[in-house]
Amino acid sequence: MNFYRTAAGIVDRLDTKNGSIKSCLTSVDETQRKRTAALVIETLKYRTSLLEVINATPLLTMEKKLLSPNLALVLVHDLLLAKGGIQAQDGPVKQGIFRHKTRLQGEWVKLKIKRGVTSDLGLAQPGDPRAENIPRYVRVNRNLCTMDEATKELEKSGYTRVELDAPLTGKVYAADRHISELLLFPSGTALQEDLLYKSGRLILQDKASCFSATVLAPPANATVIDATSAPGNKTSHLSALMGNSGRIFAFERDRRRFETLELMVAKAGCKNVEPVLVDFLQVNPQERKYGDVSHILLDPSCSGSGIVSRLDYLIEAEDNHDNAKDGRLQKLSAFQVSMIRHAMRFPSASKIVYSTCSVHAEEDEHVVRDALASAEARGMFKLAPRSMLLPDWPRRGIAKELGAAGADSLVRCSPGEDATNGFFVACFIRVGSSFDTHIEEMTVIEAPGLLPAKRRMQNADKQVKPLNFGEGEEHQGELTQKRKRSRAKKSKIVAETRDLEEWSGIDCQR
């Protein structure tokens, strides 16, 4: 019964918006994770129908041992839909479910008749149809093998290479036109048991997710920060692009996700990655070891609204109220702006890539606009030109949100239209750096109508200079009360949004 209680606890967390399906499942012991994931996902697929059936019976009112409605939910799922029924030893909870077995089965049949379906599958919640048009993308990990070596192994396994425009059906693959190390397979291709995948030579990663590291393009021997690294796909991509040289500080604030990050970079053969269990916003930009950081990748928590192939559509169908969505986006965007501003405080940072798997302008163009209007960016950073951001990629930013010039310097992916999940990429470069050579100066974009949190942060900027982490304790003790209050105000604003990493739980296939 402990297995079912664990699954019910996962559903409880999802009901309280305490993470995504994927992030909640990471808390389960690895030996039980696959089995628990299957039960949770299948239960959620049939949740609406199962609840209708349960509520048509006196199960919850009569059986006092069923303390959690979600425990009843997962048990009834297995009673009605699992081939082996409820896989638990006999006990008062299981006996309570079985006392209503005949009634539950009868209500299930009546529901199928009512909805005009003949199979159990007809009572499941449908997935996003756009996901079917997204190929299975696989990145060749050049830390461990070459493209030629990988394709030869695939062909030995029976795969045939086809042209990119050919239909992706059967045991075939094609090479991507934008990302040189990326291969495409038919949607739904299972490679998890393939030796190339198990050995870390192939990494399952959506095409759009590869854009972040590709745009950052750190050179060999560079010093790089990946601010929110777990589970490690983007980190390992950076490592490979750098030829496994230089140094990558891979930050992750959550311990369980940090453990996943460590496993990922080890499996991918990343010798230049230093995983660090810390919140990026708590990292001191003035600390000596970060003095040479030139490239920073920011892929912070977001709404995940662009990810159509993920599982969380199962928990969002009942949570589409505009007010709730608007409030959540405001908090997320305030947090995202704070991440960019903090990155801009690293003294040698010359190139900063910001990306999300969101399609909302509030998290994309608006965040870029507000970051450019911040004290850290004024006169110091500007948007990189289109020539530095996948110039051949046709879909750019939304002009009405940032102006034509600004929008052309952004990259967007539209789910259902670009054969990828939804994604957004922006690149900031330091004025006067080597990246700024021979680049025409762009007009600084003003940021009218800031969200309340950002407006408070800007007001704080008028009262106090950006925090100087290099100041000694003696000097800090001499700060005026006015500056202390202002700094505390800014810290409170950041704290209000920092917990959104766990709340949204979106990892965007990092």
* H or E element that contains 30: helix 30-45
| Cβ neighbours of residue 37 closer than 8 Å, sequence gap 6 or more | 21, 25, 28
- Residue of 24, 145, 302, 357 with catalytic role: 357
Core vs surface per residue 402-415: b (16+ CB within 10 A) or e: bbeebbbbbbbbbb
> Position 361: which residue type?
A
- Kindly tell me if the per-residue pLDDT of 221 is higher than 80: yes
Instruction: Answer for the pair 150, 196: CB distance below 8 angstroms, yes or no.
Output: yes
Give whole-number Cα distances, 175 to 119, 138, 179, in Å.
Answer: 39, 10, 9
Query: What are the pLDDT digits (tens) for 1-53?
Result: 889 999 999 999 888 877 677 778 877 887 888 899 899 999 999 999 999 99
What's the pLDDT band for 495 if we cut at 50, 70, 90? very low
357 annotated active-site:
yes
How far, in Å, CA of 408 to CA of 389, rounded? 9
| Mean pLDDT to the nearest integer, 208-221 | 97
- Kindly tell me if the per-residue pLDDT of 100 is higher than 70: yes
What's the pLDDT band for 318 if we cut at 50, 70, 90? very low
| Mean pLDDT to the nearest integer, 222-240 | 97
| Mean pLDDT to the nearest integer, 49-67 | 91
The Cβ-side half-sphere exposure at 439, using a 13 Å CA radius, reads 22
How far, in Å, CA of 381 to CA of 347, rounded? 12
What's the pLDDT band for 313 if we cut at 50, 70, 90? low
Give whole-number Cα distances, 357 to 207, 301, 383, 423, in Å.
Answer: 12, 9, 19, 4
Instruction: Answer for the pair 421, 309: CB distance below 8 angstroms, yes or no.
Output: yes
Q: Read off the tokens for 153.
A: 């192994």
What's the pLDDT band for 158 if we cut at 50, 70, 90? very high
Query: What are the pLDDT digits (tens) for 452-489?
Result: 444 444 443 443 333 344 434 344 444 445 455 555 54
- Kindly tell me if the per-residue pLDDT of 192 is higher than 90: no
Lowest mean pLDDT segment, chosen from 146-150, 238-242, 321-325, 363-367: 321-325
Share of the chain above pLDDT 70, in %: 82
- Kindly tell me if the per-residue pLDDT of 263 is higher than 60: yes
pLDDT at 403: 92
